[in-house]
Chain A
Amino acid sequence: MPTVTINQKSLTVPEGTTIIQAAEQLNIEIPRYCYHPGLSIAGSCRMCLVEIEKMPKLQPACNTRVTDGMVVTTQSPKVKEAVSGVLEFLLINHPLDCPVCDQAGECYLQEYYMKFGLHDSRMNENKIKRHKAEVIGPHVILDTERCVLCSRCVRFVREVSRSHEIGIFNRGGQSEIRLLPDQVLDNNYSGNVVDICPVGALTDRDFRFQCRVWYLSKADSVCNGCSRGCNITVEANRQRAHHGEGRRVMRLKPRFNKEVNRWWICDIGRYGYKFIDDPSRLIQPLEKQGDELEPLDWSTAAERAVGRIREAKQRGGAGSIVIVASPQLTNEDLFVTRKFFGVDLGIDQIDFRIPDKNTLSDDDFLLRADRNPNTRGAEAILLDGGGFDLQRIIESASTQSFGLLYLCEQDLVKKLGSEPARRFLGQFDYVIYQGSNENETSGLANLVLPAATYAEVNGTFTNFEGRVQRIHAGIEPLGDSLPAWRVICKLAQTAGFDYGYESAAEVFVELAQTVTEFEGLSYEKIGSEGMKLPETQPVPA
C-alpha cells in the first residue's frame, strides 16, 4: 500500500492506483480529456501532466502509477504552463462555435479554459476546416472541428460496445474521427459516446437545439426501461416553457453506479422518456359516457370507483373482482395497492403478470428482456404468499363473468393483441384503468384514473438482482395526475379507511415493516447506490 503526497496532502492507496485516481480521492482536480475511468488509458491529450519529484519531465497522471513516497505537484508553475500550453494547442483549431454547440455549459474545453487557460489567441493563421454537423448514427451527430481527438469514443466502441464503428483517420493535424467504411454508429449504446465526449464533437440528435444545459434541473432516478435498473439522472427544463416544444424532461443521462450500470446506459432506456410529456398523457379522471370519455373531478371519480368496487363485492363477492397491478409501479405503489385491495377489501385476486405476445430480447451487456423496472419488487410484495394466477384466466379464454377489473399501467391490447384483450375485458362488468398515458386499453375502460410517471414520483424500484434503488421526482405530476400510491390512498380514504401517508417515505417505512423481504430497509440505507434485498434469487431474464 504505497503512500503518495499530492499537493502536500498524503494518502495511502492500493497498489496500482494511478495519480489521477489518488488525486480524485483527495478532491484535487487534475484536468483530463482522454482519461475516462471506464476506458483504457490513452494518455494522448496531455492535459493531466503533473510534476513528480525526482523526475525530470512532467508525467501524465492518468498513466503514472503511484509508488511509495512519491511526491506529486499539480500546481507548480511548470505544470500550469504545460497545461495552459496544451490547452492552447487544443483551442487553436477549435471553431469556438460555443453559441451553436449543445455542449456549451458542460464542455470541458470551456471549463478548463476558465480554470487553466484564460490566454488570448496567438493563432494568426486560418483554422483547419473539417467536417461539421455530420450525422453518424440514429442518435449521434459529429462535428470534427470541435473534436479534441481524445479518442474516448473510439475506445468506447472498441472496448465497451465492441461494435467498432468509428476510428481516427489521417494523421497529424489532419486527424479526425470518422465512421469506418460502411458503418453507422447505431449500436444500442451509441448515446454513451455523447456522454463521454468531453467537448461538443459528439452531440445528441434527440437533444440537439432543444434546450441549453444551464436551464436543466437534475434529479437522480432509475431507468424504467428494463429490469437492469440503470441509474440515471432525469434532466428537466422547468424554467423556459417555450423550449423543446414544451417538453419538460429533456434528456436522461446515466449516473455512475459501480454495481449496476457503471457509466453506461442503453439507447432504449436513454430515449425511452418521451411518454412523460407526450400529448397522450392522462391529466384528469375520465368516465365513459356512451362512447366518449368525459372528464370529472377527483372526488367524484374516487366515489364512483369505490362505489363500483363495493357494488361488485356485494353482488359477486371478493372473487368477482380482479386487480391487475404492474411491474412499472414503484414498490410503494404496489404496497399500497396490496394493502387496500388485498388486506382492507379482502380481494385476493391480485396479479401483475401479463403474458406479452411481443418477444423482446436482451443483449449481453445492460439491456434485459424484461422491460419492467420492478418485476422483482412486484413479486416480493404481491406474490408474498398469494397463489392467484391471472395468466390462466387469460389463456383459458373462459366465459366466466366477473364484476370489476382494476387495471394499473398495463396496455392489454398491446401485450395480448386486440382480440384476446377485448375478450378478456368483456368478461368484466366494469373496468377501471389507472395509468399515465392514454392507450387502446384505457379507451376500453369505464373509468380512467390518471397516474404520474416515474419521473414525477418519489419511490423505489427493485431490479432483477433484488437491488432496491431510489427514484426522485424531477418534475411535478402533469395536470391532475397523481402518483399511483396517492390514487389508491384517495380511493381508500373515500372508502373510509385511514390512509394518512404524507410521502412515499412513510409508505416505505410501513412496507419495510410488513413485507418480509424488505425487512430492515430504509431510504437512508438504500442511499444513492441502492441496496440488495437479502437472500434473493435473481428473476430469470
Chain B
Amino acid sequence: MIVNIGIELAKVLAVLIGVLNLAAILTWMERKQSAVMQDRIGANRASIFGFRMFGLFQVLADGLKMFVKEDFIPAQGHRFLHGLAPFVAAFFALIGFAAIPFGDTIHLFGREIPLQIIDLNVGILYIFAAMSLGIYGVVLAGWASNNNYAFLGGMRGSSQMFSYEVTIGATILGVLMIFESMSLQQIVRAQGQLLWGIVPKWGVIVQPLGCILFLVAGIAETKRVPFDLPEGESEIIGFFVEYSSMKFGLFMLTDFVETVLIAALVTTLFFGGWQVPYLMADGWHLPGGTLLAWPQWLVAITQVIAYAIKVFFFCWFMLLVRWTLPRFRYDQLMRLGWQMIFPLSILNLLATAVVILLLN
C-alpha cells in the first residue's frame, strides 16, 4: 500500500516537475526561438558567477524578480478573489495532466506500473472539465480587479474560451468514434495499430481535418497567438492588467502550462502518444514481418522519450506560430470560431460517422 502510494506520488511529482520545468523552459524558449527566427540572439545576459548558459538563467532571474516585486492589489479590488484567481487558473491547468499517459505500462520488480498518473476511463472528459474550470481564473481575475478594462478583458477571454471549447469537443468526437474509447491510454494503444500493414493508425492519419481543427481550437483555448487577445495589454487590455509580481507570474505560467497541455493532448490524440511506429513491447516489428527484439526497459524508455520529443515539438510549433502570425481582431476571432471551425468540425464528425458506418 505504502509502496503504491509512493509510486503514485513519484509519478505525480515526475509529471509536475516535468510540466512546470517545461513551462519554465518555454519562457526561455519563447525568447530564444523568436530571437533566432528574427536574426537576433535573445536573452543571454543573466549569469551566475559568469556562466551564462545561453541565457537559461534568465528563467531563474525572472522568477526571482517576480517574487520580489511589489504585489499590487487595486484599492477597491476584491482582495481574496484577486489573490485566488491566478491559483484557480494554474490549478486547473495543471490537474489536466493527471489523465495523460506518457508511456506504456511497465513491469518493474514484479509490479505493473502504468506510466500515467491515473487511467480514467473518461480521461478526456476529465481534461476538458479541468480546462473549462480554468475559465474561472480568467473571470475572477477580471472581476476582482475592480477595473472595467480588466473585467471586459475577462469577459472577452471567457467567451473566447467557451467558443473554442465547443469546437474542441466536436473535433475529438471523431477520434473517440474511431478509437472507441474515452480512456487516453486506450486511445494511445489503439494508435499503435497499423493500417494496411504499414501506416501507423495515428489520429492525424485517420482524422487529418480534425487534427488541424483541434490544434487551432487548442491554441485559441490557451489564449496564445494569434488568439492572445487577453494578453494584448497595451492595445486592448486583458483580464490580468491589475496583476503584478508572482500572481502575474502565475498567469504567465498557466499560459505555458496550457501550451504544454495542448501539446500533450495533440500528441496523445493525433500523434500516437508515446507510440513509436513499428516499436512494440517486444521490439521492432518492421513492415516486412521482421522482428528486431529489444529489451522491454529499452522500449519503455524509447517510448517515454518519443513522447517527450513529440510534446516538445508541438510546444516548439506553437511558439513558431506565435512568432509568425499577427493577432486576430475580436470579431475575426469569433467569426473564425463559430462560422468556420465549428461547422467544419461538425462536418468532420458527420464524414467520420459515414465512413465508419460504410467500413463496418
A contacts B directly (C-beta below 8 A): no
Identify the A interface with B (CB < 8 A).
none
Identify the B interface with A (CB < 8 A).
none
